[in-house]
Amino acid sequence: MSKPYDMVIIGSGMGGLCSAYILSKEGYKVCVLEKNRQLGGNLQIFSRNKAIFDTGVHYMGGLAEGQNLNQYFKYFGLLEKLNLKQLDIDGFDHVSFKGDNNTYKHAQGYAHFVEVLSQQFPEERQNLIAYIKKIQEVCDSFPLYRIQNKSYDIFTKYLEIDTKAFLQSITKNVKLQNVLGATNLLYAGEANKTPLFVHALVVNSYIESSWRCVGGGGQIAKHLADSIKQMGGAIFNYSEATKFHFSGNEIKEVELIDGRKIAGKNFICNTDLSKALKMVGNEGNLRKAYTNRISNLENTMSVFVLYLTFKKNTMPYFNYNIYHHAEDVWDAINCPDEKDFPKGYAVFPQIAESPNHPDSLIVMCYMRYDEVKKWAHTKHIIPNYEQERGADYEAFKQEKSEKIIHALQHHFPDIKKNILSVHASTPLTYRDYIGTTDGNMYGIAKDYKDPARTFITPRTKIPNLLFTGQNITLHGILGVTVSSVVTCSEFVDRGKLIKDIQSAT
Each residue of 31-58: pLDDT tens digit? 999 999 999 999 999 988 888 899 989 9
As a whole-number percent, the residues of the chain with pLDDT over 90 amount to 81
pLDDT in tens, 308-362: 999 988 988 899 999 999 889 999 898 766 678 899 999 999 876 667 788 889 9
**Closest by CA position to 206, among listed 319, 334, 59:** 59
Q: Is 61's pLDDT higher than 60?
A: yes
Check residue 357 and give its pLDDT: 80
- Across the chain, what does the average pLDDT equal? 93
Note whether 196 and 277 are same-domain residues: no
What is the residue-wise DSSP string for 363-420?
EEEEE-GGGGGGGTT--EETTTEE----HHHHHHHHHHHHHHHHHHTTT-TTHHHHEE
165 phi/psi in degrees, rounded to 5 = -65, -40
322 and 425 in one domain? yes
Can you tell me the distance from the alpha carbon of 352 to that of 354, in angstroms, rounded to the nearest whole number?
5
Q: Are residue 219 and residue 180 in the same domain, yes or no?
A: no
Whether the predicted pLDDT of 251 surpasses 90: yes
* pLDDT for position 446: 94
DSSP string, 413-471: TTHHHHEEEEEEE-HHHHHHHH--TT--SSSBPP-TTSGGGG---SB-SSTTEEE-STT
pLDDT at 352: 61
- Give residue 129's domain range: 84-91+112-213
Q: Which pLDDT score, from 0 to 100, does residue 49 have?
A: 85
Q: Residue 98: inside a domain, yes or no?
A: no
Residue that finishes a domain, picked among 196, 213, 230: 213
Distance of CA 216 to the CA centre of its chain: 14
**Which secondary-structure segment (H or E) carries 207?**
helix 196-208
Q: Does the structure show a pLDDT above 60 at 4?
A: yes
Q: Band the pLDDT of 120: cuts 50, 70, 90.
A: very high
Same domain membership, residue 429 and residue 357: yes
pLDDT, mean of residues 266-284: 91
Average pLDDT over residues 249-259: 96
The answer, yes or no, to whether residue 224 has pLDDT greater than 70, is yes
**pLDDT at residue 336, as a whole number:** 62
CATH of the domain at 201: 1.10.405
pLDDT, tens digit, 9 for 90 and up, residues 444-471: 999 999 988 888 999 999 999 999 999 9
Q: Does 282 lie in the same domain as 177?
A: no
Same domain, 50 and 9: yes
What is the pLDDT at residue 353? Answer: 61
Residue 214 has pLDDT above 80, yes or no: yes
Q: What pLDDT is stored for residue 358 in this prediction?
A: 81
Confidence band, pLDDT 50/70/90 cuts, at residue 385? confident
Which one has a higher pLDDT value, 336 or 298? 298
Average pLDDT, integer, range 124-146: 96
Whether 229 is in a domain gets the answer yes
Residue 269 lies in a domain: yes
Yes or no: say if 477 and 213 are a contact pair by the CB < 8 Å rule. Answer: no
- The pLDDT > 70 percentage for the chain reads 97
pLDDT of the residue at 313:
86
Choosing from 441, 461, 476, the residue where a domain stops is 441
Backbone angles phi, psi at 353, to 5 degrees: -65, -40
Same-domain pairing of 343 and 397: yes
- pLDDT-based confidence at residue 138 (cuts at 50, 70, 90): very high
Answer yes or no: is pLDDT of 1 > 60: no
Q: In this structure, is residue 103 part of a structural domain?
A: no
My answer on whether 75 and 15 are in the same domain is yes
Are residue 282 and residue 317 in the same domain, yes or no?
A: no
For residue 144, is pLDDT > 80? yes
pLDDT at 383 over 90: no
Please classify residue 66 by burial: count the beta carbons closer than 10 Å to its beta carbon, then call 0-12 exposed, 13-18 middle and 19+ buried.
Answer: exposed
The more confidently predicted of residues 168 and 454 is 168
Considering only residues 1 and 278, tell me which one the structure prediction assigns the higher pLDDT: 278
Confidence of residue 150 (pLDDT cuts 50, 70, 90): confident
**What is the number of structural domains in the chain?**
3
Position with higher pLDDT, 93 vs 453: 93
Same-domain status, 261 and 166: no
Q: Is residue 97 in a domain?
A: no
Using alpha carbons, select from 105, 111, 103 the residue that is nearest to residue 129. 111
435 lies in the same domain as 305? yes
